[in-house]
A = this chain, B = another copy of it.
């Protein structure tokens, strides 16, 4: 059997908190409580819930603000949130703000309805994995046994040696990796690397390719990674995706 879903209640009114807690626990959920944002963050250090029930009105930091922060923080952005409001007319305001909450519920609500919403949100959260949410920038590329790490701006060779790249070399390699197994002429490379036109007798691409080949230990006489397409330009061959 799997672990029960974990719910965190953030609500300043002790009685409401206890009421909700007891009902949820009867329904096989693991529940913890915080009275305000401060306590919540403290608790989150050691315990990660699947869903947070957040009251809108809180002493100290506002529930909306907490909500925003939770969805910005890498460690907490995959926690589902249901906002609770005291009055229905507050709802309009919240909905307009588009904070990161997954559902909203205005008091008074029936316990059954709360439970239903919780199950619904959790189910939705599980079938729509986070990956779909923020379109992350790609941090590393793999090709022919090499690994390119963008942040550290270096390559890791198939045998594990780390090779540093300059900015220009990295951009060039990135461009090749975005067009694998495709011959790119010098004008195109200049455009993609520097967003500028190539001048008349512009050899900078050739030189830069040479420098990159040296880093990749690619013999120009018989290159395996960056091939020269004679009379046209250069091409990165990855082996995969022919």
Tell me if B45 and A135 are in contact (CB < 8 A).
yes
Q: Answer whether A242 and B156 are a contact pair too, CB < 8 Å, given A137-B45, A230-B167, A232-B167.
A: yes
Tell me if A167 and B231 are in contact (CB < 8 A).
yes
Interfacial chain B residues near A152, Cβ < 8 Å:
181-183, 229, 235
Contacting B at CB under 8 A, from A174-208, are 181-183
Q: How far is the CB of A184 from chain B (nearest CB, A)?
A: 9
**Residues of A within 8 Å of B, CB-based: how many?**
22
CA distance A151 to B151 in the complex (A): 31
Interface string of A222-242 (1 = CB under 8 A from B): 000000011110010000001
Q: How far is the CB of A176 from chain B (nearest CB, A)?
A: 13
What 3 A-B pairs are tightest by C-beta distance, nearest first? A46-B134, A167-B231, A151-B183
9 A-B pairs besides A151-B235, A152-B183, A153-B229 with CB distance below 8 A are A46-B134, A151-B182, A151-B183, A152-B229, A153-B183, A160-B242, A166-B230, A166-B231, A167-B230
- A–B pairs, 25, beta carbons within 8 Å: A45-B134, A45-B135, A45-B137, A46-B134, A46-B135, A46-B160, A47-B134, A151-B182, A151-B183, A151-B235, A152-B181, A152-B182, A152-B183, A152-B229, A152-B235, A153-B183, A153-B229, A153-B232, A156-B242, A160-B242, A166-B230, A166-B231, A167-B230, A167-B231, A167-B232
